[in-house]
Structure 1
Amino acid sequence: MENVLENSRKLTNALVIKVFGDNIPFYVINSELRRQWSGFGNFRLTMLGKDWVLCSCENAEIMDSILYEGPWFVKGHIVGIDKWTTSFSTNSLKGLSALVWIRLPNLPLYCWDDINICRIASLVGKPFLLDGNMIQWNRREFARICVRINLDEQLPLGVWVEGDSTKFYQRVEYEKVSKLCFKCCKIGHLMVNCPVCKSAEVINKTGLPDPVVNSDVLKVNSEVITNVDPEEHGYGPWMQV
C-alpha cells in the first residue's frame, strides 16, 4: 500500500489522453501535441497501449491549461482528456471528455443571441466557446458553439427547447467527429465494431427475432415524433459536419 500511495502521488499532475483516430503512430501524436502545448510548460508523454497516452505535467498549472483549453485535434481527430485517477482503465472511456464544436442549424431567429444559444447548447454539453463571427455573418444558416461533452455518453440528435409560449425541436450537428457509431451514437468506434451490434448478433444466434426499428415513430428525449424523415432525425452521416 505504501508503494501504491507513492505511485499515485507521482501521478497527481497527470492526464490520460486518447486520440480518436485509426492507427495514428505515437510519434505523430507526440509531435502534434508538443507543438500545440509548447507554450504551457514542461510535460512528458508516454504511450500506454490501446491508443492511450499518459501526459505527466511539471505542475498543476500546466495540467489545468491543457485540460481546460482547446479544443485539441491530432490530424483532424478529437483528443479526449481526463485527469488520471486510480479508477482509470484503458478498457473504459468513463470520465473522458473533449471540446467539440457543434452547430444548431435553422435556429429560430428569436433565439439568436448569446444567452439563448448557450442555454440551448448546455443541453448537449457544457458551453465553452461561442463563435463570435456568426453574429456578424450576413446569413443565419446555423449557430456555432464549442461545448465539452462526455465521450462515454450518447450524442443527442437534438434537444427540445421550451419557452413561455413555444416549443420546438432543435437538431444538432457535430464538427470533426470522425469515429462516430451510427448504431449507438457514441464516439470512439464505427458500426462494424459497435458492442450493441455484437450484442444483437449474440441474441440472434439464440433464435430470437431481430430488433426492428420503426422509422415512422422515433423517441427523442422521451418525446414521440411521428411521420418523420429517418434521414433527418435518425443516426447517420447527416449528424457530422
Structure 2
Amino acid sequence: MTKPSTLPTETFPPIPPKPPDKSQSDMEEDRTPLIPPLSSQPLSYKDVVLEKEENLEASYLHEMDRETHMKDQLESPADLDTITLTPEEKERLYQPWKYSVIVKVFGKRLSHQYLKGKLTDLWNIDEPLNLIDLGFDFYVARFKEEQSLQTVLYEGPWFVEGQFLSIKRWEPNFVPAESKIDTAAIWIRLPQLPTKFYDQRILEKVGRRIGQLVKADACPSATLRGRYVRICVEISLDVPVRTSIMIGSHKQQLLYEGEGIMCVGCGRIGHTIDNCTYITPKTTTTEA
C-alpha cells in the first residue's frame, strides 16, 4: 500500500515581537515636525517687507551691518591684524546714529556755524541740531527723534544760499575723502494725472521706473493741491533725468520740485547751467 504524497510545508517568517509600550516622552518625540520651525527658515520677500514696516530702523541698521561686513571682507588687507566687531558691539556703535543724515551743499563752501544756523532755520525741527563737520564739505546732522529724520528726508528738496543741499542717510563706513554724493532724494510732481491713476501701486511703478522709490503720496487730499500727486525718488546726479513717462497710453509730464534744481543744458539734477561741467564750452574762431 503506497503512502499518500506529502505536500510541502509552507514556511512563514517569524512573527516579530510586540513592541514595548512607548513612554509619553517617546510619543512627543514622534510628533516632532519634519520641517524646521518657521523662524529657522529663510524669510520670504513678503516677510522681509513686513518686518521692515514693523521695525524700520532696526532693519536699516541690519542692512548697513551686512553691507559693511561685505565691504570689510573685500577691502581688509590680509597681512594686517583685524579687530573683529561682534554684533553686540556694532549695535551699540550704530544705535546713536540711526536717525542721522549725511549732507553736503553743492557748489558752495560754508562755514560750520553758518551752515548750522541756516539748517536750523530751514528745517525748523523740534530739537537742537547737532551738526558734525566730517571734512571735505560733508556734515552729519544727528537727531534723537525719528520725526526729525522724516522731516529732513521727505520734506525737501532743500536749498542753502540758492545751492542744492544733498541729503542721504548715515552709513557706518562713510569716508569723506573717498566718497561723493551721486544720488539725491527728489520730490517729483505728476501734474494733471488722470484720476484713474491715483493708485498707490501705479505710483510705485512710476517711481521705480524713474529711480529708487522712497515714498509715494497718493492720499485723496492730493486733489486739493492743484491736481497733482507727488513721488519721492532717489535719483542719480550723474545722468540726465526723464521729463515724461508713459503710463499705459497716457504720456505723463514729470516736474521736479525746487526752483533751479535741474540744469536745462544737460538735464541733470543738482546744479544749473551756470555751473554745469557736462557741457563743453563752444570755442569761437577769429578770422584773420
1:55, distance to aligned residue in structure 2 (A): 0.9
Equivalent of residue 198 in structure 2, options 112, 115, 120? 112
Unaligned runs of 5+ in 1: 206-241
Q: 1:25 to 1:65 in 2, by over 3 A?
A: same
Match in the other structure for 1:135: 223
Contact between 2:104 and 2:167, CA under 8 Å: does it hold in 1? yes
Match in the other structure for 1:184: 266
Q: 1:157 to 1:2 in 2, by over 3 A?
A: farther
Question: Quick one: distance in 2 between partners of 1:190 and 1:159?
Answer: 23
1:55 matches 2:151: no
What is the SS of the residue equivalent to 1:122? helix
TM-score w.r.t. length of structure 2: 0.49
Q: 1:154 to 1:26 in 2, by over 3 A?
A: farther
Contact between 1:129 and 1:145, CA under 8 Å: does it hold in 2? yes
Question: Quick one: distance in 1 between partners of 2:84 and 2:145?
Answer: 19
Q: Sequence identity, in percent?
A: 16
Contact between 1:80 and 1:151, CA under 8 Å: does it hold in 2? no
Q: 1:16 to 1:89 in 2, by over 3 A?
A: farther
1:88, distance to aligned residue in structure 2 (A): 4.7
Amino acid at match of 2:118: E
Q: 1:5 to 1:27 in 2, by over 3 A?
A: farther
What is the SS of the residue equivalent to 1:155? coil
1:158 matches 2:244: yes
Q: 1:38 to 1:45 in 2, by over 3 A?
A: farther
What is the SS of the residue equivalent to 1:116? helix
Q: Which shows bigger deviation, 182-191 or 76-85? A: 76-85
1:149 matches 2:234: yes
Question: Quick one: distance in 2 between partners of 1:124 and 1:157?
Answer: 10
Amino acid at match of 1:128: K
Contact between 1:177 and 1:187, CA under 8 Å: does it hold in 2? no
Amino acid at match of 1:155: V
Equivalent of residue 158 in structure 2, options 69, 73, 84? 73
Unaligned runs of 5+ in 2: 1-79
Equivalent of residue 207 in structure 2, options 114, 117, 121? 121
Match in the other structure for 1:168: 250
1:39-94 Cα shifts (integer Å, max 9, x gaps): 46773331634xx3321637797996577554352457543223343465577333
1:106, distance to aligned residue in structure 2 (A): 2.8
Amino acid at match of 1:161: I
1:104, distance to aligned residue in structure 2 (A): 1.4
Amino acid at match of 2:257: E
1:186-221 Cα shifts (integer Å, max 9, x gaps): 1232224323213x75xx79xxxxxxxxxxxxxxxx
- Select the structure with the greater relative contact order (CA < 8 A; seq sep ≥ 6): 1
Question: Quick one: distance in 1 between partners of 2:167 and 2:111?
Answer: 18
TM-score w.r.t. length of structure 1: 0.56
What is the SS of the residue equivalent to 2:117? helix
- Alignment RMSD: 4.4
Amino acid at match of 2:208: S
The total of aligned residue pairs comes to: 190
Q: Which has the larger radius of gyration?
A: 2
Question: Quick one: distance in 1 between partners of 2:128 and 2:82?
Answer: 28
Higher helix share: 2
Q: 1:77 to 1:194 in 2, by over 3 A?
A: closer
Question: Quick one: distance in 2 between partners of 1:119 and 1:113?
Answer: 10
Contact between 1:78 and 1:177, CA under 8 Å: does it hold in 2? no
1:123, distance to aligned residue in structure 2 (A): 2.4
Q: 1:70 to 1:109 in 2, by over 3 A?
A: closer
Higher strand share: 1
